Amino acid sequence: MPTFEPFHALRPEPKYAEAFSSLPYDVFNRAEGRAEVRRRPLSFLRMDKAEVTLPDFIDDHDPRVYQQAALHFKEAIERHILTFDDVESYFLYRLSDGTHTQTGFVGCVSVADYDQGIIRKHEFTRPDKERDRVRHVQSLAAHTGPILLAHHPDPELDRIVSEQDQQTPIYQFTAEDGIEHTIFKITERAAMMTIGSQFARHDHLYIADGHHRAEAASQVARLNHHEDAGLFLAVSFSSDQLNIQGYHRVVEDLYGQSVDELLTRISSRFTIIPGRATETKPHRFEMYVKQNWYTLDYEKERPSVKENLDVTILQDEVLTPFLGIEDPRTDSRIQFVGGIRGYAGLEQLVDQGTMAVAFHLHPTSLTELMTVADAHEVMPPKSTWFEPKLRSGLLIHPFFK
């Protein structure tokens, strides 16, 4: 029985919404973030990734980074770029890229639900990333980046979306990447009661993206006695609306073998066809090496949903035995490329010599994600890439007011 509560939001004045909001901190490296802040000086990235406003000799996790984030945050409040809502509210967050539209509910979920597995996860988290987000949340005394959740389709929640969608939004703008962001504020009592009661009817909610932020919220709650620290910010979408793209892999060398030797070894487990596939599908992989594409079809069925995931098959049948990648979470020879970069992004990395071989994967499905989470198992790292991305800084959950 998940808790999904309204909250007193801290949010930008409408005239600042587009300039202040930003893509999530982990989309940028430090150089990219610095360039973004120079270009958009009001950007929330100054708070979300404050090292980009400091000299390069200061480490990303130096205490001064979190002090700087708090100073920027305080300044935004004092300058009335950010203001507090007087009433508790839910919000609807609609994203549209012109061909795909999805609308989610923004509210606060419970740390206790996360700790008890009512909010289900499907990934391991890394301690260094957990520590970074814990220190960030502690420094600001606020949850600033929403967790992306999925819930099973719910006609009553869909009805609320249809009704509220006719209202005047508090924010509506199209970002530079072409994604339209629209947010509606819900304060009408009957609608709010329906939202809370409908979420309580679900057995579970599922983390789609944001495992490190969720784990950090859990740790922060144990460090703070403020009751609002026991809640954290989330946007929950119906599972039939979320759009998952493939999360691709690139490896920097061929592990001491030639292309022909690698192809021969792979052919013992896959059917190889020269060229790119005419269509992608589960258990079909595309490999790019030495300016050539190869389609790899895997025809075996494995005993569980987790083992049948394409990311698992590639890891078990190619990356570990033929390229020596034992642990993709720690091996520096492998990198992960989000689906938004497509074939061209993979080709560029290989053609410019940064990487030796690239693998294009079919997307993991929401059904697979939920099945793995329900089995209390975890998927390999970087199994899902969601588009379009939520922007940070539009809705903040403070626990210091």
399 has a pLDDT exceeding 90? no
Q: What mean pLDDT is predicted for residues 342-360?
A: 95
pLDDT tens digits, one per residue of 112-129: 999 999 999 998 888 888
CB within 8 A of 102, min separation 6: which ones? 94, 95, 96, 237, 241, 242, 243
Residue 129: the pLDDT is 86
273 has a pLDDT exceeding 60? yes
Residue 338: the pLDDT is 87
pLDDT tens digits, one per residue of 320-338: 999 999 999 889 999 999 8
Residue 38: the pLDDT is 95
Partner residues linked to 234 by β-bridges: 107, 147
Global pTM value:
0.89
Q: 399 vs 271, which has greater pLDDT? A: 271
Place of tokens 């258990």: 283
CB within 8 A of 138, min separation 6: which ones? 66, 220, 223, 224
Average pLDDT, the chain: 94
Q: Which helix (H) or strand (E) holds 359?
A: strand 357-360
pLDDT tens digits, one per residue of 81-94: 999 999 999 999 99
pLDDT tens digits, one per residue of 209-226: 999 999 999 999 998 877
pLDDT band at 401 (very low <50, low <70, confident <90, very high): low
Structure tokens, 188: 């009408």
Residue 271: the pLDDT is 97
DSSP-derived letter for residue 226 is -
pLDDT band at 382 (very low <50, low <70, confident <90, very high): confident
The angle, 0 to 180 degrees and rounded to 10, between the axes of the packed helices 63-78 and 127-140 is 40
Judge contact between 248 and 337, C-beta under 8 A: yes
**What percent of the chain has pLDDT above 70?**
100
Q: What mean pLDDT is predicted for residues 103-111?
A: 97
Residue 339: the pLDDT is 85
Q: 226 vs 10, which has greater pLDDT? A: 10
Residue 316: the pLDDT is 96
pLDDT tens digits, one per residue of 134-179: 999 999 999 998 999 999 999 999 999 999 888 999 999 999 889 9
Q: How many CA atoms lie within 13 A of 276 on its CB side?
A: 15
362 has a pLDDT exceeding 80? yes
Structure tokens, 319: 């990356």
